[in-house]
Homo-oligomer: A and B are copies of this chain.
Amino acid sequence: MTEIPKNHPRYESLIAREKIVSGVNRGLTSQQGLTAQGRGEAFDYLIGEKTIASAEHAETAAACLLLLAENPVISVNGNAAALVPKELVELAELTGSKLEVNLFHRTPERVKKIVDELKKYDASCVLGENAEPLLNLDHERAKVERDGIFAADVVFVPLEDGDRCKALTEMEKLVITVDLNPLSRTAQTAHVSIVDNLTRAISNMIQMIPELVLLSKNELWEVIEQYDNKMVLADALEEMKEHLTEKQNELLGIDPTPKGPTPEEVEEMEKRAEIRKRVLMRGADLMME
């Protein structure tokens, strides 16, 4: 790896890039994965390279769904395997999910290498080597395992292609994704779209789970009922617009007058605080509708 000084202002981002380059060199990640990483970097920059509040909300809903699922599957592609192999194994362990290697640019060699990589981090069982063309897509794109993604009720497909994400939602599965582009077809078709850097998203979810497992099933469902993916995507777009306005003001030398939140923003913040409270504190039993 190229040496990157720890005090570099974009240390995290540069380390992630080096991990992807290493993934390509080790045959885990396709070259197209480097492009995907670059796209992510651009959108991450626009949200300030931090987990925004609405993404944290989506991460909570995603963790709840994985905990509630009968048969959850976490899909692992080449970029995910290069960036967070250990964390994916840990998340699967904590949520009782199966892991399945699921590649857009699929070759048997790459599938095998990723399976082996995950096993290095003590994954007990990793699916993907016996995939069959079971999705409603052209042959190579259609491959999933019969006992894995095909049979799942909840699938977590971080960094997924738009067509494949859509095919999964059409099979009446609940689909969770991580995608830094809130406008992508993947983000717009999934049921829970986490607009966050994959490394931050997985680590946040792992940290949330010890508190979430203390909740009853009804309370977990309540979190999901409260969840509105459209609002989450709209909020991510709002964050990007605010960031662009800031940069535009800098460019034109405009000093914007500081102002307080609008009544709508106050209401939204109160709503968010309320949801958070319900998630974090065990309250009275909540009825499912």
Which residues does A use to contact B, with CB under 8 Å? 2, 5, 8-10, 17, 20-21, 24-25, 31-32, 34-43, 45, 105, 138, 162-163, 181-183, 185, 188, 230, 233-234, 237-238, 240-241, 244-245, 247-248, 251-252
Cβ–Cβ contact B247 & A183, under 8 A? yes
Q: For the complex, what is the distance from the CA of A188 to the CA of B247, rounded to whole Å?
A: 11
Chain A contact surface mostly: helix
Cβ–Cβ contact A181 & B42, under 8 A? yes
Q: For the complex, what is the distance from the CA of A42 to the CA of B39, rounded to whole Å?
A: 5
This chain's copy number in the assembly: 2
Q: List chain B residues, Cβ under 8 A from A2.
A: 32, 105
Shortest CB-to-CB span from A282 to chain B, Å, is 33
Cβ–Cβ contact A248 & B244, under 8 A? no
Shortest CB-to-CB span from A34 to chain B, Å, is 4
Q: For the complex, what is the distance from the CA of A39 to the CA of B99, rounded to whole Å?
A: 29
Nearest residue in B to A235 (C-beta to C-beta)?
B248
Given contacts A5-B138, A31-B31, 7 further A-B contacts (CB under 8 A): A9-B185, A24-B31, A34-B38, A38-B42, A42-B42, A230-B251, A237-B248
Shortest CB-to-CB span from A130 to chain B, Å, is 23
Q: List chain B residues, Cβ under 8 A from A8.
A: 163
Q: For the complex, what is the distance from the CA of A9 to the CA of B2, rounded to whole Å?
A: 36
Cβ–Cβ contact B230 & A237, under 8 A? no
